[in-house]
């Protein structure tokens, strides 16, 4: 049973427009959420995170929103650029004793069209 | 700064052979994680270590899989004997001190093909 779900395997967006990637989770103990970006033949790269005490975190063009009641988070990229084309993974953990394992979604492939 | 270093980048071998994947975490990081990525199951955690001690190996699929961390700068994941269904990309990741939420930093992975 998947605890972190990314229901859209792919997304295409025009350059300059907003990209919205979605993620749902089932474990109410999760309190730390991250987004990773992955290019082909490379490892996932950390992008942005949010703890459960916040509902929004912003870093440049990237903003993560957390809706705890809906167990939903989203990543907004504005404006989208061709270099943003990659697979995006949502991940979550329950901080009990420190570095608890991350549970990953299966990813969403974003294509930004010039 | 050097990131997480994995070797080899690619490994092709015949079923039944022993396979050893290697990982050097980022210096100063106390936690190390081994993941496997497949199309069907996505990124799965196999095992993780804190301060060189295995903490949770519940993700290791079978006894054919074993992992060690003899010191803070080196870890291995071994498959013996290997089977075609072990074909996947294996990632190693590390993160800093236990006790705070910190992102994990990934290596570029080892693409393993078992024929």
Residues of chain A above pLDDT 90, percent: 80
Nearest to A99 among B102, B107, B109 (CB): B102
Q: Say what the pLDDT of residue A98 is.
A: 46
The CA-based diameter of chain B, rounded to the nearest angstrom, is: 42
Which chain A residue has the Cα nearest residue B108? Answer: A43
3-state helix, strand, coil in chain A (%, to 5): 5, 55, 45
In this model, does residue A97 exceed pLDDT 50?
A: no
- CB within 8 Å: B105 and A42: no
**Which of B4, B95, B109 has the CB atom closest to A99's CB atom?**
B95
Contacts of B30 in chain A (CB under 8 A): 99
Q: Bridge partners of B77?
A: B21, B67
Size of interface A-B (CB pairs under 8 A): 56
Distance, CA of B47 to CA of A1 (rounded, Å):
19
Check residue A2 and give its pLDDT: 84
pLDDT at B3: 94
* Residue A44 pLDDT exceeds 60: yes
- Identify the CA nearest to A112 among candidates A93, A89, A85: A85
Q: For the segment B35-77, what is each residue's pLDDT rounded down to a tens digit?
A: 999 988 889 999 999 899 998 898 998 899 999 999 999 999 9
Nearest to B103 by CA among A84, A73, A88, A100: A100
Sign of the Cα pseudo-torsion (B4, B8, B10, B11, in order):
negative
For residues A75 and A36, give the distance between their C-alpha atoms in angstroms, rounded to a whole number.
10
């Amino acid at each position: 049973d998947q605890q972190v779900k990314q229901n859209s395997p792919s997304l295409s967006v025009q350059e300059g427009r907003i990209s919205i990637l979605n993620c749902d989770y089932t474990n109410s103990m999760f309190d730390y959420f991250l987004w990773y970006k992955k290019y082909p033949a490379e490892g996932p790269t950390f992008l942005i995170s949010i703890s459960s005490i916040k509902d929004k975190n912003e870093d440049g063009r990237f903003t993560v929103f957390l809706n705890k009641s809906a167990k939903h988070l989203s990543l907004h990229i504005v404006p989208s650029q061709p270099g943003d084309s990659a697979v995006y993974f949502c991940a979550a953990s329950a901080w009990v004793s420190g570095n608890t394992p991350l549970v990953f979604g299966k990813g969403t492939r974003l294509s930004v069209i010039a | 700064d050097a990131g997480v270093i994995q070797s080899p980048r690619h490994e092709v071998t015949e079923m039944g052979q022993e396979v050893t994947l290697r990982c050097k975490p980022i210096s100063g990081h106390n936690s190390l994680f081994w993941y496997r990525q497949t199309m069907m199951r996505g990124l799965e955690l196999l095992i993780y270590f804190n301060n060189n001690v295995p903490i949770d190996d519940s993700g290791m699929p079978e006894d054919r899989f074993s992992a060690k961390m003899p010191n803070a700068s080196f870890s291995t994941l071994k498959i013996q004997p290997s089977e075609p269904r072990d074909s996947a990309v294996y990632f190693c990741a590390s993160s800093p001190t236990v006790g705070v939420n910190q992102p994990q930093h990934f290596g570029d992975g080892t693409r393993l093909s078992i024929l």
